[in-house]
């Protein structure tokens, strides 16, 4: 895949870039290693000052970088600006909390005494250069939620971004440099995916994080396993959205529309499978389908647009294949389901019912504005349907019954359970999944500690 900005609203190639050669990659790896030796000794206060400055600059750049993101991957420009603002808030959150999250920990007095120590502690030390392989769907947020904690922990970052968002990738490198971080603290590597394996095998790279597809995750995990390097993987998701009889059905249906089509439906944590109790199935379906059908699809640079194009022509074709397979197998298309005429990689908000286990869309992630509807007879069947997926990223549950909440929290196989609201990432909460959605956690204290050397310090009497 070429490294290029191709406007998904019209298919026009705007800018192309040459991949970095071996000599430049070697220079950057040397620089990362050398920078880490000194950056690791900086104080949390100094790191926080730099990260706060990066947040200030990002807020100043919000409108411009928002347009760049929209032009590169098609999200509505209002959502792009909101993404930039969210990144700035996350930077400030880690600047404020990192010292506390990574403070030395003291074991219990009893354990210290029992070990024969005069004193002991646990210290979190940085690992070194961390390779981040990041996707195009949230081209700022996915990177910042890695970079902010990694930099605050004293690590340095090497970014291999998706090949269709090179301008955003280069902007991020420039942002951290303008903020005052030395050049080797954060570097963008303009390379194809084929170069990732060699970089991950390099001894100077100590760990890796990947957000992306299941095949990409398998490849990185396999190499990292061979090299015995720490990895964090956030892969696909096909999140359930369960609606029970006690729910506020009107609100559940309104939120469901946003939960499905945020970022043009191209979000791992977007709700994708809507599992509705039979007692409220008809009422929910009527409201949900009407809401999906009423969304304004159009030029993502127009302020009123709610759904823009998919990021790539291949992405649209993949989505079409899932819908067509379901339709051939007997599913009913309640709205959408047909590619519009005209330029750009648009696909309409679509709702499908009558899903069976034999359909591909039941097992595969639909990465676009396509929702599947399921009818559940009771709570047990709702849980069964929700867990009948190879993925386990997050989940959404709508009920006012606390006993039902307890059951869902106990039984849903997911990294998150959001009750009476849609899944959203926040720097204060751990983020990640189970099953084929990956392993490890981003964000919160759990995320910042993923790439730390957790060190026991023991002093004899």
Catalytic residue among 72, 83, 234, 450: 234
Q: Which residue has the tokens 């950056």?
A: 39
Give the 3-state secondary structure of residue 418.
Answer: strand
Give the 3-state secondary structure of residue 409.
Answer: helix
Angstrom distance (rounded) from CA 437 to CA 232: 11
* Dihedral angle, C-alpha 201, 207, 211, 217, nearest 10 °: 50
Catalytic residue among 87, 185, 268, 335: 268
Contact criterion met (CB below 8 Å) for 271 and 422: yes
Q: Taken in order 200, 203, 204, 206, is the CA torsion positive or negative?
A: positive
259, 253, 216, 255: which is closest to 234 by C-alpha? 216
Angstrom distance (rounded) from CA 45 to CA 90: 17
Cα within 13 Å of Cα(326), Cβ side: 28
Q: Is 442 a catalytic residue?
A: no
Angstrom distance (rounded) from CA 146 to CA 127: 14
Q: Tokens for 351, please give them.
A: 């709702």
Contact criterion met (CB below 8 Å) for 91 and 58: yes
Strand pairing class (434-435; 452-460): unpaired
Element (H, E) at 331: none
Q: What is the CB neighbour count within 10 angstroms for residue 203?
A: 10
Say how far residue 383 (Cα) sits from the centre of its chain. 24
Angstrom distance (rounded) from CA 449 to CA 68: 32
What Cα–Cα distance (Å) separates residue 19 from each residue in 193, 196, 216, 373, 375? Answer: 11, 12, 19, 43, 49
Q: Is 185 a catalytic residue?
A: no
Residues annotated catalytic, as ranges: 234, 268
């Amino acid at each position: 895949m070429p490294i290029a900005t191709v406007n998904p609203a019209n298919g026009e190639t705007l800018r192309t870039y040459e991949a970095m050669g071996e000599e430049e990659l070697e220079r950057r790896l040397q620089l990362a290693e050398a920078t880490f030796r000194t950056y690791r000794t900086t104080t949390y206060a100094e790191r926080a000052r730099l990260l706060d400055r990066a947040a200030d600059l990002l807020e100043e750049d919000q409108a411009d970088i928002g347009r760049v993101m929209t032009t590169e991957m098609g999200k509505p420009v209002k959502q792009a600006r909101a993404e930039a603002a969210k990144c700035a808030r996350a930077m400030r959150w880690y600047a404020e909390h990192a010292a506390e999250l990574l403070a030395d920990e003291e074991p219990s007095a009893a354990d210290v005494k029992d070990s024969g120590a005069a004193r002991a502690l646990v210290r979190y030390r940085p690992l070194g250069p961390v390779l981040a392989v990041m996707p195009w769907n949230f081209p700022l947020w996915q990177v910042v939620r890695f970079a902010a904690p990694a930099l605050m922990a004293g690590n340095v970052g090497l970014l291999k971004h998706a090949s269709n968002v090179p301008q955003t990738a280069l902007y991020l490198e420039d942002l951290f440099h303008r903020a005052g971080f030395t050049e080797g603290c954060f570097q963008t590597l303009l390379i194809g995916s084929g170069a990732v394996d060699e970089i991950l095998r390099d001894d100077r790279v100590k760990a890796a994080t990947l957000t992306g597809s299941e095949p990409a995750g398998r490849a990185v995990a396999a190499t990292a396993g061979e090299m015995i390097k720490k990895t964090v993987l956030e892969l696909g998701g096909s999140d359930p959205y369960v609606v029970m009889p006690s729910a506020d059905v009107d609100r559940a249906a309104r939120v469901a529309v946003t939960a499905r089509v945020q970022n043009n439906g191209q979000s791992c944590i977007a709700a994708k499978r809507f599992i509705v109790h039979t007692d409220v199935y008809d009422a929910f379906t009527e409201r949900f389908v009407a809401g999906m059908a009423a969304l304004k699809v159009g030029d993502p640079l127009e302020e009123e647009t709610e759904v823009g194009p998919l990021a790539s022509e291949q992405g649209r074709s993949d989505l079409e294949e899932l819908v067509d397979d379901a339709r051939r197998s007997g599913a009913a298309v309640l709205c959408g389901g047909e590619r519009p005429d005209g330029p750009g990689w648009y696909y309409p908000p679509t709702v499908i019912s009558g899903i069976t286990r034999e359909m591909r869309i039941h097992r595969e992630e639909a990465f676009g504005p396509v929702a599947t509807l399921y009818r559940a007879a009771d709570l047990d069947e709702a849980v069964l349907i929700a867990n009948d997926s190879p993925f386990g990223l997050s989940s959404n549950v709508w009920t006012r019954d606390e006993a039902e909440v307890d059951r869902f929290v106990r039984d849903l196989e997911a990294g998150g359970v959001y009750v009476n609201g849609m899944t959203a990432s926040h720097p204060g909460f751990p983020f990640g999944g189970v099953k084929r959605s990956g392993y490890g956690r981003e964000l919160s204290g759990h995320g910042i500690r993923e790439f730390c050397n957790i060190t026991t310090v023991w002093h004899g009497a």
